[in-house]
Amino acid sequence: MGWGFAGPFVAVFGLVFLAPIGYALYLSLFQDRLIGGTSFVGLDNYGKALTDPRFWEGLTRVGLFLLVQVPVMLGIALFAALAIDSGRLYGKTFFRVAIFLPYAVPAVVASLIWGFMYGTQFGLVGNINDAFGVTLPNPLSPSLVLASIGNIVTWEFVGYNMLIFYSALKVVPRSLYEAAAIDGAGEWRVVTAIKLPAIRSALVIATIFSIIGSFQLFNEPSILQKLAPNAITSDFTPNVYTYSLSFSGQQHNYAATVAIVMGVLTAIIAYAVQLRGMRKG
Amino acid sequence: MTTSLPTAAPGSTEPVGRTAAASSRAASGTTTSKRRERRLPHTPLHPRPSLPLTLVAGLVLVYTLLPLAWLVINATKDQNGLLDSFGLWFADDTHFWDNIGRTLTYDDGVFVRWLLNTLLYVAAGAGGATVLAVLGGYALATYDFPGRKAVFAVVLGAVAVPGTALAVPTFLMFSNMGLTNTPWAVIIPSLISPFGLYLMWVFAAEAVPTELLEAARIDGSGELRTFFTIALPLLMPGTVTVLLFSMVATWNNYFLPLIMIKDPDWYPLTLGLNAWNAQAQTAGGQAVFDLIITGSLLTIVPIVAVFLLLQRYWQSGLAAGSVKE
């Protein structure tokens, strides 16, 4: 009887998750040549991917992105969650709702708004340049575009992470705080000794989600590409690379290989963070 | 789980504290105003609000609201106003309603078509995803059937698989099946939400006592009837949460329709806005920045409204998702 209820989910899951994974593995073992058609090449595509400078360039870029953007975003989110949870803010409900609000904004709209604001034509950067007679560095230039994308992603997800942390803080038994106050513990001590250890698993989960998200970086560069065509290349991130291989280059077999390599890498790193994060002490 | 609305904000306890102080003063009859001040209880659970902390946290608030303010302000400007006026203030004349009218009618009302497509994808995709997640989560939580553990392990493992890694093979599969460029190509992959299944499993395990189901069976109720009359009402708060998450995910989806849909007639709003932007950036293309900005505003208004109306469900969903291990 359990299968009767779970069956529909499992059937569709098989179609849209398991079948594509199997199909990708199958595709990755073949090559489609102009002359000779499709032929079995074993693991050649994997060898090619692992020595492909364009793949490594994108991977290095998301690695750098991850090392900077994830800590900044989670830091702001944690600060906001602790501030709201402390009960020491005026209008804390407004804070909670307003900071979470960008999560409802589609990546397309977020990238367009920020992209326009970055612009020198009618964006804020252009306004500031005109008003003060200065020339600010162009956020859409090749050297700054990654940081500009990091800002967009931070804006989109800071509230989501804040709410994960805040939800975890809400279930910390309030009696602990009373006991700490009786023992004379200051607010900072309560944060480091009670609150942070209590939400450890939420911190680990938010970190893992953010790492997976960084490795998948696609939407924001894909949309900003129209605003900054020279700064965002077709191998900007591994996913942008996979997309252009597949839909501009028709190299489906190689694209599937790159996608699998990225999937495996993501899973390994997410798993390592989980093991490290869940270890006590 | 559903009562997480902040009805007990620090401000609301103030009158209670004052009443208590006032009544104790009436009893003793000798309290000075200084002593009354001291009796206001700012306990560790209800500390005094802090202005410096509010100001620092206010910077985060400015950061999150600034782009939305920019969007609203610039939706009132026409093409000239966008170029000539300061971005964070209004232009001399307002074109707000005019902009909305032109956005809805531009190119034979293609925006309205995109809106209806989006509604179709959300109703079928998010609605279907919720039904599947509720049924599946209920099964995992209340039945012990062969393969149950395997289902759970595989689905949880799938959460770590990058969605975009699946995109190319899914596209090729759907292309072979003749599904690309049809609404099915967007709807079918939207039907699976591993996170929704997990959420419903956690929720059903807590909200539906197995004794209740046993009692119903002893009374001769069939499994389907038990589900609809006993379990489903208990599962309602979790169901709304999953529906909300799926709705936002489907409404905001970009990558899936980008690879699946080539025909602008089947675009959702996100792809449509992206296409307008691509057109505006192309040399010789009509620069419709005012329409892109107004269209962006129209795209987020419905989802933000749903979001604000049902916000308490968000929190319960994220709490269940992050606290459980």
Co-location of A53 and A38 in the same domain: no
Q: How far is A217 from chain B (nearest CA, A)?
A: 9
Co-location of A145 and A35 in the same domain: no
Co-location of A30 and A53 in the same domain: no
Q: pLDDT band for position B33 (50/70/90)?
A: very low
DSSP assignment letter at B47: P
Q: What is the pLDDT of residue A41?
A: 83
Mean pLDDT computed over B202-221: 86
Q: Are B170 and B104 in contact (CB under 8 A)?
A: no
Q: What is the pLDDT of residue B26?
A: 40
Question: Would the CB atoms of B160 and A256 count as touching at under 8 Å?
Answer: no
Co-location of A36 and A160 in the same domain: no
Q: Distances in Å between the alpha carbon of B284 and those of A229, B80, B261, B278, B288?
A: 16, 18, 25, 11, 12
Question: Would the CB atoms of A88 and B49 count as touching at under 8 Å?
Answer: yes
Q: Are B114 and B269 in contact (CB under 8 A)?
A: yes
- Plot region of B323 (φ>0 → left; ψ -120 to 50 → alpha; else → beta): alpha
* Token pair 């340049």: residue: A129
Q: What is the pLDDT of residue B42?
A: 63
Give percent above pLDDT 90 in chain A: 41
Mean pLDDT computed over B22-31: 40
* Token pair 């057109």: residue: B279
Q: What is the pLDDT of residue B250?
A: 93
Q: Inform me whether the pLDDT recorded for B32 exceeds 70.
A: no
Joined together, the tokens standing for residue A83 give 């501030």
Q: Are A113 and B296 in contact (CB under 8 A)?
A: yes
DSSP assignment letter at B177: T
pLDDT in tens, B119-132: 999 999 999 999 99
Q: Inform me whether the pLDDT recorded for B30 exceeds 70.
A: no
Cβ atoms < 10 Å from Cβ of A94: 11
Co-location of A34 and A75 in the same domain: no
Residue B131 Cα to chain centre, angstroms: 17
pLDDT in tens, A4-57: 888 899 999 999 888 998 999 998 998 877 776 778 888 888 999 999 999 999
| Chain B residues 275-304 with a CB less than 8 Å from chain A | 277-278, 281, 289, 292-293, 296, 299-300, 303-304
Q: How far is A168 from chain B (nearest CA, A)?
A: 6
Q: Which residue has the higher pLDDT, A145 or B14?
A: A145
Question: Would the CB atoms of B68 and A212 count as touching at under 8 Å?
Answer: no
Mean pLDDT of all residues belonging to chain B: 80
Co-location of A2 and A71 in the same domain: no
Angle at B49 between CA B43 and CA B53, to 5 degrees: 125
Q: pLDDT band for position B79 (50/70/90)?
A: confident
Round to whole Å and give the CA distance between B68 and B299: 12
- On chain B, the residues whose CB falls within 8 A of the CB of A220 are none
Q: pLDDT band for position B36 (50/70/90)?
A: very low
Round to whole Å and give the CA distance between B189 and B166: 10
Helix then strand then coil, % of chain B, to nearest 5: 75, 0, 25
Q: Which stretch of A9-13, A181-185, A211-215, B42-46 has the lowest confidence by average pLDDT? A: B42-46
| Interface test mutation site (partner A, options B60, B251, B308, max chain A beta carbons within 10 A) | B60
* Token pair 């997410």: residue: A270
Q: What is the DSSP string of chain A?
A: -HHHHHHHHHHHHIIIIIHHHHHHHHHTTEEEETTTEEEE-TTHHHHHHHT-HHHHHHHHHHHHHHHHHHHHHHHHHHHHHHHHHTT-STTHHHHHHHHHGGGGS-HHHHHHHHHHHH-SSSSHHHHHHHHHT--PPPTTSTTTHHHHHHHHHHHHHHHHHHHHHHHHHHTS-HHHHHHHHHTT--HHHHIIIIIHHHTHHHHHHHHHHHHHHHHT--HHHHHHTTT-TTTS-TTSSHHHHHHHHHHTS--HHHHHHHHHHHHHHHHHHHHHHHHHHHS--
Mean pLDDT computed over A250-274: 87
Joined together, the tokens standing for residue A216 give 């998948």
Give percent above pLDDT 70 in chain A: 98
Co-location of A15 and A150 in the same domain: no
Question: Would the CB atoms of A105 and B68 count as touching at under 8 Å?
Answer: yes
Mean pLDDT computed over A245-273: 87
| Chain B residues 108-127 with a CB less than 8 Å from chain A | none
Residue of B nearest to A100 (CA): B64
Q: Which of A2, A181, A267 sits opposite B143 (nearest CB)?
A: A2
Q: Inform me whether the pLDDT recorded for B92 exceeds 50.
A: yes
Co-location of A17 and A84 in the same domain: no
Q: Are A195 and A82 in contact (CB under 8 A)?
A: yes
Residue of B nearest to A252 (CA): B168
Q: Which stretch of A170-184, A223-237, B86-100 has the lowest confidence by average pLDDT? A: B86-100
Round to whole Å and give the CA distance between B121 and A265: 32
Question: Would the CB atoms of B252 and A106 count as touching at under 8 Å?
Answer: yes
pLDDT in tens, B67-77: 999 999 999 88
Does the domain spanning B96-323 belong to CATH 3.30.1490.190? no
| Chain B residues 23-82 with a CB less than 8 Å from chain A | 43-51, 53-54, 56-57, 60-61, 63-65, 67-68, 70-71, 74, 82
- On chain A, the residues whose CB falls within 8 A of the CB of B65 are 98, 101
**Quick check: helix, strand or coil at residue B318?**
helix
For chain B, which residues make up each domain, given as ranges?
96-323
Round to whole Å and give the CA distance between A165 and A152: 21
Q: Which stretch of A243-247, B45-49, B244-248 has the lowest confidence by average pLDDT? A: B45-49
Q: pLDDT band for position B321 (50/70/90)?
A: low
Mean pLDDT computed over A245-258: 87
Co-location of A231 and A169 in the same domain: yes
Q: Inform me whether the pLDDT recorded for B34 exceeds 50.
A: no
Q: Which residue has the higher pLDDT, B171 or B41?
A: B171
Q: What is the CATH number of the domain that holds A217?
A: 1.10.3720.10
Q: Which of B88, B307, B319 sits opposite A170 (nearest CB)?
A: B319
Co-location of A54 and A35 in the same domain: no
**Quick check: helix, strand or coil at residue B41?**
coil
Q: What is the pLDDT of residue B207?
A: 84
End-to-end, the C-alpha distance of chain B in Å comes to 17
Q: What is the pLDDT of residue B1?
A: 34
Residue A141 Cα to chain centre, angstroms: 22
Q: What is the pLDDT of residue B310?
A: 82
| Interface test mutation site (partner A, options B12, B50, B64, max chain A beta carbons within 10 A) | B64
- On chain A, the residues whose CB falls within 8 A of the CB of B48 are 88
**Quick check: helix, strand or coil at residue B225?**
helix
Angle at A19 between CA A15 and CA A25, to 5 degrees: 165
Q: Which of B151, B289, B300 sits opposite A6 (nearest CB)?
A: B151
Q: How far is A228 from chain B (nearest CA, A)?
A: 10
Mean pLDDT computed over A192-215: 89
Mean pLDDT computed over B53-76: 93
Phi, psi of A30 (to 5 degrees): -120, 165
Tell me the torsion sign for CA atoms A221, A209, A251, B172. Answer: negative
Mean pLDDT of all residues belonging to chain A: 88
Query: B307 — contact with chain A (CB < 8 Å)?
Result: yes
pLDDT in tens, B275-304: 999 888 877 777 788 899 999 999 999 999
pLDDT in tens, B176-186: 899 999 999 99
* ipTM of this complex prediction, to 2 decimal places: 0.90
Structurally, chain A folds into a number of domains equal to 2
- On chain B, the residues whose CB falls within 8 A of the CB of A271 are 160
Range of the domain at A7: 1-42
Co-location of A151 and A237 in the same domain: yes
Question: Would the CB atoms of B139 and A6 count as touching at under 8 Å?
Answer: yes
Q: Inform me whether the pLDDT recorded for B11 exceeds 50.
A: no
Mean pLDDT computed over A260-275: 86
Q: What is the pLDDT of residue A153?
A: 97
Co-location of A19 and A156 in the same domain: no
DSSP assignment letter at B144: -
Q: How far is A53 from chain B (nearest CA, A)?
A: 20
